[in-house]
Structure 1
Amino acid sequence: MGNPKSVASGQWLVLVAAFLGWMFDGLEMGIFPLVARPALQDMMHGAGGGDEFVARWMGRITALFLVGAACGGLSFGWLGDRLGRVRAMMLSVLTYSLFTGLCYFAQTPWHLGALRFVAAFGMGGEWSLGVALVMEAWPEEKRPMLAGVIGAAANVGFALIAVAGLFFKVTQTSWRWVMLAGAAPAALALVIQLFVPESERWKASVKQSVARPVKEIFSARLLKNTLLAIAFASIALIGTWGSVQWLPLWADQLTGGTMSEAKANTQILSGVGAVVGCLLGGAFGGGISRRPAYFGLCLVSLVLCAFLFRAVDRYGALFLVMVFLVGGTTAAFYGWFPLYLPELFPTRVRATGQGVSYNSGRILAAVGALTQGKLVSFYGGSYAKAGAVITLVYLFGLVLIWFAPETKGKPLPE
């Protein structure tokens, strides 16, 4: 990568690999909301249980998924700072692909939960590694735009699996084939290993010091940044996993299960909205500064979620418009995170810092998912009432963001 042409080529390879890795990550995330109801009903063997049974297991498996993603983010982030971004990212893609495919063989909800846990282990690692690799490879002025692109990638995958759901009806007999198809991205792992160049910033950092990344991000110098980053990620993830991830199930409930396309339409619109939101989230943070951007995203998410869950009570045009808007605003955070989180940590611990921050948020989001499942049961199967309660979490973001450093206009810390 010594001449300008090869540098540009290497940068594009990094971007494409990170985008595809995170896109397939989103596709794997989107599979379960699509198959959850028929899969769980299949595993009940016709024993009944209704919406409360599905909601309870949806909450449990979602919680296992989020904890797995958190553990993977911690482990693969550490691995990325010790062995390199590229090798660690290859292993993360291989992990989430193969264990998603193995869900084909699940016989009980607990089997499904365990396999989703391990698949999520790989998904959690891919985000922090891909973001670190892209942000270290491209110049400073490109980072706001690239943050939005990387953030949007998962939602492109989420929308693609929903589109597939329109043409392939997921039933109690077909859901296993959907999960088996989730093993296909394993081929990307080989491409990453063979063609994607390692981060030059990481190589230089390794030569200069022997990093102890986990210890350093909790040192006195970085502790405040780490804790605030965990809080910001937790708020966004609880809001998403406590509301948007349940929208397909709510649509199915509102239509009495009589409109097979309701779930797919809901997931497509929330996914497309999320793609737009992520692209705008990175640009928003780059344009008006990091802190006001996060404040604005929390405020708009709070208002739109309140309207959707408190004022909309039937499946139709208004429901679908609100799904698009809520999907966009709640996902815009994921265009903001790839911009802001790398600015909080030096190169030698960046992947670990991002991984710990974002994925610790997933652990708290797992608590939120379990709480959402319990709230649905508490409110007699009402996804709307439960969503209205859980999305109040954005109130915390309106306050906490003002305790964080403003990093706009500053280079990535070395």
Structure 2
Amino acid sequence: MEKSLTQDTHGQPARRGPFAWYHEISANERRTFWSCKIGYGLDGMDTQMLSFVIPTLIATWGLSTGEAGLIGTCTLLASAAGGWIAGILADRIGRVRTLQLTVLWFAVFTFLCGLARDFDQLLLARTLMGFGFGGEWTAGAVLIGEVIRAQDRGKAVGMVQSGWALGWGLTALLYALLFTWLPAELAWRALFLLGLLPALFVLFVRRLVKESDSFQQVHRRRDERRESWLAFCEIFAPRLLSTTLRASLLTTGALGGYYAITTWLPTFLKTERGLSVLGTGGYLAMVIVGSYVGYVISALLTDALGRRKNFILFAAGSLLIVLGYTQLPIHNGLMLWLGFPLGFFASGIFSGMGAFLTELFPTRLRGSGQGFCYNAGRSVAALFPLLIGHLSQSMPLGIGIGVFSAGAYAVVILAALSLPETRGKDLEHD
């Protein structure tokens, strides 16, 4: 009789460490895990490039901060639309094919950003890049969520999403190298041109990653029934409407708090607190490391504590850290170390999001539901930086950040309490 995967060599129950699940999955599941993780990393790499080159564009092109902000907002709004469209495509043509298309899309348009001759061309290329950036998240989260078994889904999906922090760190490294070797007016273009490299990753996905069994079963039944493309509208039908709206509130709160913090906190600390450490790579490295660790720890906790408790824990931690930044007297040394918990909580809250949204919807609507909920939240949250900027004209910036962050994370907590706990839930295959 074959020995159980959960027994040791003496036939006794084996101790399951936090990463034992990885050694128990099949070769195809591992390929899927790494393809999704690398895809998230490449997504993060290309997406974060703009934030590094904005100061150079302001200096060389005479861009205003308003124009720079417009590029960021248009990218986010396009990513919201792209995420929803990709979700619908994932339910129709498959998770793997949609993953390939979105990675290829954002790689090509990131490359074109490097060839832009003026602000209008850069705005257009970056906005179109946003469609792929938002779509990749949806396709990857649905794919890995369907492949991994229920008891380990939170850990696996969270570990996949931690790839974003690795991509962010890779961009920081490429930025440092290119701006050391090349003049600034060439270095920013070279950084964007390197964004084409993820297109090679599509070849790996095409050869080695298979579609999930769940999707293939449902796809065969759909072909037999000849269901309409408009089937995605069922996420707004009475049976699912409440779930769709509450899940959208959850993502709105998490993303709104994140955008409020990451967009305006550095400006607040630099201009109103006069902290010089923000200009060093050490602070950014601390935030990136904190983000990666936050993703990993949250991935483990979402299976250990449950989805809802984990969201509440990280929402409360994010709120405390932003209040600490805006209300407590902080010197350069302390602020450097606070970069770790800032990245830990603000990024870690997203680690359980993919698994949770996967479990809320049936297979035939999973891409549509997950794509809509996450990206409806993104489109609303994209307005937070703009609203804080307007509010800061009549009151201190720190108060605006605190008010919007507190409101956003309160929404996360309320939405989490209203939604069902899905830890360990078998996926619906109807």
Tell me the TM-score normalised to structure 2 length: 0.85
Q: Which residue of 2 aligns with 1:401?
A: 416
Question: Deviating runs (4+, > 6 A) in structure 1?
Answer: 254-259
**Structure 1 residues 269 and 97: CA distance shift in structure 2, 3 A:** same
The amino acid of 1:175's aligned partner reads: W
1:370 lines up with 2:386 in the alignment? yes
What do residues 246-299 of structure 1 show as CA deviations (whole Å, max 9, x unaligned)?
A: 55556765898988x825333322221111111122222211122222122211
Q: Which residue of 2 aligns with 1:330?
A: 346
Residue in structure 1 matching 2:101, options 67, 74, 91: 91
Alpha-carbon deviation of 1:119? Answer: 0.8
Structure 1: gaps (5+ residues): 46-52
Q: Distance in 1 between matches of 2:414 and 2:245?
A: 15
Q: Distance in 2 between matches of 1:89 and 1:110?
A: 28
Residue in structure 1 matching 2:367, options 341, 348, 351: 351
Q: Which residue of 2 aligns with 1:200?
A: 213
Residue in structure 2 matching 1:140, options 125, 142, 150: 150
Question: Residue 235 of structure 2 contacts residue 369 of structure 2 at CA under 8 Å; is this kept in 1?
Answer: yes
Specify the SS of the correspondent of 1:302.
Answer: helix
Alpha-carbon deviation of 1:103? Answer: 0.9
The amino acid of 1:103's aligned partner reads: C
Q: Which residue of 1 aligns with 2:287?
A: 270
Moved more, 357-366 or 370-379: 370-379
The amino acid of 2:140's aligned partner reads: G
Question: Residue 216 of structure 1 contacts residue 222 of structure 1 at CA under 8 Å; is this kept in 2?
Answer: yes
Calculate the aligned-residue CA RMSD, in Å.
2.6
Question: Residue 263 of structure 2 contacts residue 385 of structure 2 at CA under 8 Å; is this kept in 1?
Answer: no
- The size of the alignment, in residue pairs, is 398
Question: Residue 237 of structure 1 contacts residue 365 of structure 1 at CA under 8 Å; is this kept in 2?
Answer: yes
1:292 lines up with 2:309 in the alignment? yes
Alpha-carbon deviation of 1:110? Answer: 3.9
What do residues 372-402 of structure 1 show as CA deviations (whole Å, max 9, x unaligned)?
A: 443456568x5x4543333122122222321
- 1:28-177 to structure 2, matched below 5 A, reads 28-44=46-62, 53-54=64-65, 56-169=66-179, 171-177=184-190
Q: Distance in 2 between matches of 1:219 and 1:323?
A: 43
Q: Distance in 1 between matches of 2:118 and 2:270?
A: 23
**Structure 1 residues 258 and 143: CA distance shift in structure 2, 3 A:** closer
Moved more, 129-138 or 84-93: 129-138
Question: Residue 252 of structure 1 contacts residue 263 of structure 1 at CA under 8 Å; is this kept in 2?
Answer: no
Specify the SS of the correspondent of 2:423.
Answer: coil
**Structure 1 residues 93 and 376: CA distance shift in structure 2, 3 A:** farther
Residue in structure 1 matching 2:235, options 204, 213, 217: 217
**Structure 1 residues 40 and 202: CA distance shift in structure 2, 3 A:** same
**Structure 1 residues 358 and 268: CA distance shift in structure 2, 3 A:** same
The amino acid of 1:387's aligned partner reads: I
Q: Distance in 2 between matches of 1:258 and 1:165?
A: 20
Residue in structure 2 matching 1:387, options 381, 396, 401: 401
Question: Residue 298 of structure 1 contacts residue 397 of structure 1 at CA under 8 Å; is this kept in 2?
Answer: yes
Residue in structure 1 matching 2:29, options 6, 11, 31: 11
Structure 2: gaps (5+ residues): 6-22
Q: Distance in 2 between matches of 1:169 and 1:201?
A: 47
Alpha-carbon deviation of 1:312? Answer: 5.0
The amino acid of 1:401's aligned partner reads: A
Q: Which residue of 2 aligns with 1:183?
A: 196
Question: Residue 62 of structure 1 contacts residue 369 of structure 1 at CA under 8 Å; is this kept in 2?
Answer: no
Alpha-carbon deviation of 1:190? Answer: 2.2
Question: Residue 104 of structure 1 contacts residue 179 of structure 1 at CA under 8 Å; is this kept in 2?
Answer: yes
Tell me the TM-score normalised to structure 1 length: 0.88
Q: Highest CA radius of gyration, 1 or 2?
A: 2
Q: Distance in 2 between matches of 1:163 and 1:359?
A: 29
Question: Residue 146 of structure 2 contacts residue 358 of structure 2 at CA under 8 Å; is this kept in 1?
Answer: no
Specify the SS of the correspondent of 2:338.
Answer: helix
What do residues 195-218 of structure 1 show as CA deviations (whole Å, max 9, x unaligned)?
A: 211111101011123364421111
Alpha-carbon deviation of 1:118? Answer: 1.0
Specify the SS of the correspondent of 1:10.
Answer: helix
**Structure 1 residues 98 and 81: CA distance shift in structure 2, 3 A:** same
What do residues 297-336 of structure 1 show as CA deviations (whole Å, max 9, x unaligned)?
A: 211111111111232555x221121121111101112111
Q: Distance in 2 between matches of 1:410 and 1:203?
A: 20
